[in-house]
Amino acid sequence: GNGRASAVRLAQEGAQVLGVDLDKARLEETLSHHAEIAPYLCDLTDSAAVLKMAKHCLDVYGRIDVLVNNVGGSAPGGPVEMDEATWDKQLAYNAKTVFLACKHVLPIMERQGGGAIVNVASTSGLRWTGSAQVAYAASKAGVIQLSRVLAVQYAAKGIRVNCVVPGQLHTPMVEARLASQRAGGDVGKLLEQRQRRIPLGFAGDGRDTAAAIAFLASDEARFVTGTEIVVDGGMTARCD
């Protein structure tokens, strides 16, 4: 998915990457794509665990130049259909994880004189994307605005904060979750439905998100902060 592709892309470009996941098997699969990624298991909804992760990274590498927040998952339903527990879990998973990582990494970047943060949101945080997923949409919209606020707050301290906003990409989440939610488990049917909304006529994948993240994390984006790169094949530009 987006996280794995981004970790691999950054490592290929020479970054020393601490790859963080909650799932050991998925983390090991990521390492199989690039052996030099350092693995770290962490529940990113747990503040103490995130602080420990940040300290570990600092102990190993001496600094944190780039933070990429790429945690996310959707749940179907509007406010009537969705129970409160699902709402709370979605907000914790999609928004609190970003808040906590920024909370514990920003002081490190401030002390070292700068850094770059890239938060991964979703086009669901910008517009209707085909189905009601109110908590996911609200939390991802929150990530976008959180990023803008932090960008202004920390600009004078040399810290850039931006968002990558992926659209309807073909990732493992599509096959594992969305197809069962929206297309009766038929991945091909879901992809066809999604691709009809994309002006370019095809679904991108994690590589496209990774390319945007790599740019925003790099010195090539030294004058870019408080904004979003939308990676969606033109979908959000349509009005139908």
Q: Give the up-direction half-sphere exposure of residue 54: CA atoms within 13 A in the CB hemisphere.
A: 23
Residue that the structure tokens 């892309």 belong to: 9
CA 157, 148, 91, 119 torsion-angle sign: negative
- The overall longest dimension of the chain from CA atoms, in Å, is 51
Beta bridge pairs of residue 77: 133
Q: What angle in degrees, to the nearest 10, is found between the helix axes of 2-12 and 206-217? A: 50
- Closest by CA to 15, choosing from 57, 52, 70, 51, is 57
In which region does residue 119 sit, left (phi positive, over 0), alpha (psi from -120 to 50) or beta (all else)? Answer: beta
Count CB atoms within 10 A of the CB of residue 16. 16
Give Cβ neighbours of residue 240 (< 8 Å, ≥ 6 apart): none
**Gap between the Cα atoms of 45 and 48, Å rounded:** 9
- Closest by CA to 152, choosing from 226, 58, 55, is 226
- Closest by CA to 90, choosing from 51, 164, 141, 126, is 141
Catalytic residues: 136
